Amino acid sequence: MKEGKSTHKGLWFVVLVAVGSLLPAVSGQSPPVDDNQGEEGQNEKSCLFYAYTSSENHRFLLGPNSSMFGERLMIIHNCQEVEIFLDGFFEASSGSNFSIVIEPGIHNITISSNSTEITFENVVFYPERLDWEFDYQFIQESKPTFIDLETSKTQANWAVIVGIIIVWVLNVYVYWSLISSYVDRNFIEEVVQ
């Protein structure tokens, strides 16, 4: 009887260890300490910003060498002030979220705030609407008319026949003109008295 109880205790121990290892590990940690000290010894909160464009229901996040659809760049931040430079020239600055209009093409964009400055190079901006979607909707709405395969073959055969006749007439006319001019230049009449 003692052997059965010890086997059950060992089995329970193995089950508890297996279940304990499957539970996620929890580690408590205090929030990170901000090393930036502002004037008067107060901590400044860290500054985060990002920018995106949108086209209909699609959003495109700004990044280096990225393709952006839409002409309005939205800048979202929690900084005191953010400045935007477009191709090296100052474009805008604001203390709250804002947007700027950018012409389609390839641009270099620099976003700076407090002590952070990030440059996004070779960013391609495309017009607002996604072209493929517009073309697809246009095709669906216009309902193009198709011709029958037999009609298409008949039209192609008639085009070939008419083309052959035109080429034959032009060749005969050109050759006849060349032969006629040769004969007229080299024709000699003998006059008998």
Residue type, 45: K
Per-residue pLDDT of 127-153, as tens digits, reads 876 566 667 777 777 776 788 999 999
E strands in 17-66: 49-55, 58-61
Q: How many CB atoms lie within 10 A of CB 74?
A: 16
Give the contacts of 137 (CB within 8 A, at least 6 positions apart): none
pTM of the model as a whole: 0.47
Residue type, 135: D
With pLDDT > 70 as the criterion, what percentage of the chain qualifies? 77
Highest mean pLDDT (candidates 115-124, 128-137, 159-168): 159-168
Question: How far, in Å, CA of 7 to CA of 13, rounded?
Answer: 10
Sign of the torsion angle spanned by Cα atoms 68, 72, 74, 80? positive
E strands in the chain: 49-55, 58-61, 67-69, 72-77, 82-86, 89-94, 98-101, 105-113, 116-126
The arithmetic mean of pLDDT across residues 47-52, rounded, is 88
Class of the CATH-defined domain 44-133: mainly beta
More confident residue, 136 or 91: 91
What pLDDT band is residue 40 in, cutting at 50, 70 and 90? Answer: very low
